Chain A
Amino acid sequence: EAGVTQFPSHSVIEKGQTVTLRCDPISGHDNLYWYRRVMGKEIKFLLHFVKESKQDESGMPNNRFLAERTGGTYSTLKVQPAELEDSGVYFCASSQDLGQSEAFFGQGTRLTVV
């Protein structure tokens, strides 16, 4: 069974550009989460999908970030326009049952904004 996969693994963009990160959760997992770690800080929650619906987006830093999960399968996280402070590692995770089962994380996308 494939795990959570994220694409790209690395992205270097200039300030003001747009970047789209993709996450493919484990098949059958309704819950999909985005987290990020910025330099020197803890991993922080961004948002949570249940199927295609946003269950909780309280961690999204501002309106430059847009997450979608069309059809309840893969998800994208778009940053537009990117700022220097958006640099970090963006992790995606999925789980089967809310609060009851393990969460499985992807390898992360390392975003560098220059």
Chain B
Amino acid sequence: KQEVTQIPAALSVPEGENLVLNCSFTDSAIYNLQWFRQDPGKGLTSLLLIQSSQREQTSGRLNASLDKSSGRSTLYIAASQPGDSATYLCAVDNYGQNFVFGPGTRLSVLP
């Protein structure tokens, strides 16, 4: 049974810092991994999708990496801004059927 964990659970940083969010999963047989952000009371916004054959994806200040063999993914946020404050969720797609979500990392970027 796939299990997804995320560390840290919460993170508070001053504006401008680079930061790394971590995601671990127990079953390496995945189709893809997707990072989402969720703002309070809102839905999930897709940030990056990494296929199982890929090592990383980049979008603007965001970079996500995937190491299937070790069951890890990281989300790197460069030059953080207060607008980046949100909960970041890692979700693993098992066999293209459905996502298993991690508990999320709650990020606060202080001005």
Contact = CB atoms under 8 A, between A and B. Distances in A.
Interface of A: 4, 33, 35, 42-45, 48, 55-56, 59, 91, 93, 98-108
B84 to A, nearest CB: 19
B97 interface: yes
Given A105-B46, A107-B43, A59 B98 contact: yes
* Closest CB pairs A-B (n = 8): A99-B96, A99-B31, A107-B43, A105-B44, A45-B98, A43-B101, A98-B96, A102-B49
B99 interface: yes
Given A100-B96, A105-B36, A44 B43 contact: no
Chain A contact residues: helix, strand, loop or mixed: loop
Contacts, number: 60
Interface string B32-58: 101010000011111001010000000
Contacts of B101: 35, 42-44
A43 to B, nearest CB: 4
Given A99-B96, A102-B49, A107-B42, 9 more contacts: A33-B99, A42-B101, A42-B103, A42-B104, A43-B89, A48-B98, A103-B34, A103-B99, A107-B43
Contacts of B95: 99
B35 to A, nearest CB: 11
A104 B36 CA distance: 10
